[in-house]
Amino acid sequence: MRTMIGLVKEHRGPGAVLKEVPVPVIGPDEVLVRVVASSICGTDMHIYNWDAWAEKSVVTGHVFGHEFAGVVEEVGSRVSHVKIGDHVSAEGHMVCGICKPCRTGRSHVCLNTLSFGITAPGCFAEYAVVRASNVIHNRPDMPFEIACLQDPLGNAVQTVLSGDIVGKSVAIIGAGLIGLMSIAVARACGAAQVIAADINPYRLDMAHRMGADVLIHSGEVKLSQAIREHTNSEGAEVVLEMSGHPDAIREGFEGAANGARVSLLGIPTQDVPLDMGQIIFKGIRVEGITGRRMYETWYQMKGLLDRGILPLDQLVTHTFTLDRYEEAFELMREGRCGKVVFLHGASKPGDLAYNSTDAALQVSLSI
């Protein structure tokens, strides 16, 4: 039996274990991918820290992680559109194809979804198995460190484009990695004004680098009031809530304009009481965002990437080998980084095509 090193969520509690595990065996409709790069997502932080969301959502005892890029090493007997040697990533939602949402074009909210790295084995390992139907082909010249960011980029693209964006004022609450990507996507897709809010000066500096027009330190001012001050007292026409923090969610609704769209991506770790009058009497449209629309969002995202108008290379600030996972997760917890990428099978970051380890992103902006 072949074995590999994988980062396993072994127990239903904080932390993870790096251990030797079997190389997964593929079925006739699956593909074995040698993982070259993977990245830490906010969801992985929920899993690593083990909060209330993780307790009710995560299956333990297997490798976690869901953002990756790699090279196909083996294909199942019924697979024809994927070849050994292809550079690939994958859609992480494994859907049934037969429930009503799947049959009516909404498979991203399939009633029977298995989630790669959450309820099924993931990619923080040397190898990963994915359904061939979920494979996303990458250009061979795309650096693996960039290719592995497509999963969260898809979240950003779906959040931004779930309603009208052209010529509108957009407030992005939470400058985590998907929030930062959303800034770039909103600018690329024609937003008139992009406002970014966070309590972390490092992340606000990155928001500035990604193209935000206005920065709000929401730990120092009342967020809704600041949004109105920068929108002629009208409020933001589009609010993208990425933090999941109860206060930020409430302030987002308060800072939204009459008739605004509010898209919610951040995962709250507790119940969030809301003033429903803010929604009803202001005529706000509320949209929950999960994953990516399969596969419409992927085509939108690929189009933006092919045009070269999304500065994703600026997001990767640190790279680690998998054995340094504790440092990587601690860095993420402290918020002293952009995107953190694991390089698999490389003795040092420079072994791959792109190296942005410990990039010099100094907090020089006056917030």
Q: Which of 43, 159, 231, 317 is catalytic?
A: 43
Known active-site residue 43: yes
* Per-residue pLDDT reduced to its tens digit, 100-153: 999 999 999 999 999 999 999 999 999 999 999 999 999 999 999 999 999 999
Rounded distance, CA 51 to CA 254, Å?
A: 27
Q: Which of 46, 87, 318, 344 is catalytic?
A: 46
Domains of the chain plus CATH, in order, are: 3-149+315-351 (3.90.180.10), 159-288 (3.40.50.720)
Tell me the pLDDT band of 269, cut-offs 50, 70 and 90: confident
Does the pLDDT value for residue 222 go beyond 70? yes
Between these two residues, 348 and 60, which has the higher pLDDT value?
Answer: 60
Taking residues 226-230, report their average pLDDT: 98
Known active-site residue 321: no
- Contact indicator for 116, 90 with CB cutoff of 8 Å: yes
Does the pLDDT value for residue 349 go beyond 80? no
Tell me the pLDDT band of 288, cut-offs 50, 70 and 90: very high
Q: Is 139 exposed, middle or buried (0-12, 13-18, 19+ CB in 10 A)?
A: exposed
pLDDT of residue 284: 97
Does the pLDDT value for residue 327 go beyond 50? yes
